[in-house]
Amino acid sequence: MVGSTLLKSTKFLNLSQCMKVLVSQNRSYTSKLNEQQLAIQELARDYTNRYLKPKASKLDIEGRFPFEEIKQITNLGLMGACVDEGYGGLGLDYLSLAVAVEELSRGCASTGMAVSIHNFLYANLVNEKGTPEQKERFLTDFTKGSIGCFALSEPDAGSDVANIKTMARQDGDYWILNGKKSWVSSAIEGSAAAVFATFDPELKHKGLACFLVPLDAEGVFRGKKEPLMGVRAATACDLRLDDVRVPAACLVGRPGDGFRIAMEQLDQGRIGIAAHAVGIAQAALDTAINYAKQRVAFNKNLTRLPSVKDRLTDMCILVETARLLTYRAATDVSTKNSSMAKYVAGRNATAVADHCVQILGGRGLSTKYDAERHYRHYRDARGTQIYGGVTDIQKRLVGHFLLKEHDAL
């Protein structure tokens, strides 16, 4: 319809010129936040500066899950940011949630990660794909303090989702689940999880189904907390499912919809991880600038040294590039856009954190200085290239959809 109208209104153009106008329209985009998004950004930023940032170092050192902080963020409404108001949410768009995750991650990467996964991978899934009955049971309480999880990965099925081994067998009005899930974030503290299982391994991805499973159900066993290199206040553990009986009403969609549901949710999840990475990168940039303004070498502030100025400039460019791609992905959700955002944001956050340590020199390595927390943020940043889909897979996805757009597969 748009193309037809455009062609009629531009008869003086040849076909080539018309197509250029169409392409230009399709690529139009603004990174300017609207009033609502700016308000959410300010809300999350103010909370982070006042309450979260001062506690972040202690949470990281102790590896303590941010229960109190999550409770406060729940009171702000951000644990149900995109959930319909009828179920206790704020009814916001993805970009509002992304800027909130960025601000929270700027103060504490672990807290930002927990908020991101709860919202993008669990709450949004139930809100958008659940039945009214499922929302009442698995969503309303999850905007009020309960934490949701996303159980997709297995010991032999990470990026290869079609290789899932967890079995789902129908038994009358129930499904019986058996299997093991790996790296389930917040499962130790969580109340329910979206669990993906196969009802027919021969069908590969077409045999997958998604179930909403209470984590206190009989037959659900949570493993020990995995010792993580970064985001140490966040948690991840295995989940074992031994003859777990869930009512048929806990099935999301239909049998066979699991792969589509997982892929659509991962498109959102990558936006959350990208925003998380941008927050980590911004924190490292802030630290480097503040230190460089105060530190004197060769009788001048580090900011006046060309080598340091060049590093700060590179850091700024890396942060802004990642932020723009993340905003674009949040406003135009697609596999290609979210994969580009996660790929760039993860790599850039790691590079920015590395620059930060280099500018701080010895103080960047010493545990006596607050700046060392941003060296640990280097480890936090490195993780953003792995969880939610490894960097290598994101690059392949971008290439696939690029060629598909150009009919070149």
Q: What average pLDDT is seen over the chain?
A: 89
Confidence of residue 23 (pLDDT cuts 50, 70, 90): very low
- Calculated CA dihedral for residues 98, 41, 345, 320, nearest 10 degrees: 140
Domains of the chain: 35-143 (1.10.540.10), 148-259 (2.40.110.10), 261-405 (1.20.140.10)
What burial class does residue 311 get, using C-beta atoms within 10 Å of its C-beta: 0-12 exposed, 13-18 middle, 19+ buried?
A: buried
Distance between CA atoms of residues 124 and 305, nearest Å:
47
- Span 138-159, average pLDDT: 94
Kindly report the pTM of this predicted structure.
0.90
295: confidence class by pLDDT, cuts 50, 70, 90: confident
pLDDT, one tens digit per residue, over 178-192 is 999 999 999 999 999
Q: Compute the average pLDDT of residues 1-9.
A: 39
Helix axes 335-360, 391-405, angle to 10 degrees: 140
Q: Can you tell me the mean pLDDT for 296-318?
A: 89
Mean pLDDT of 222-228: 92
**Measured between alpha carbons, how far is 236 from 365 in angstroms, rounded to an integer?**
27
> Which of these, 21, 105, 49, lies nearest to 374 by C-alpha position?
105
pLDDT at 372 over 70: no
Q: Report the percent of the chain where pLDDT is more than 70.
A: 89
Q: What is the distance of C-alpha 312 from the center of its chain?
A: 26
Check pLDDT > 60 for residue 236. Answer: yes
Q: For 9-33, what is the mean pLDDT?
A: 51
Contact 308, 302 (CB under 8 A): yes
pLDDT of residue 388: 82
Query: Residues 76-104: what's their mean pLDDT?
Result: 98
Which comes out higher in pLDDT, residue 54 or 2?
54
Q: Give the C-alpha separation, 144 to 125, whole Å.
A: 17
Structure tokens at 2: 């748009």
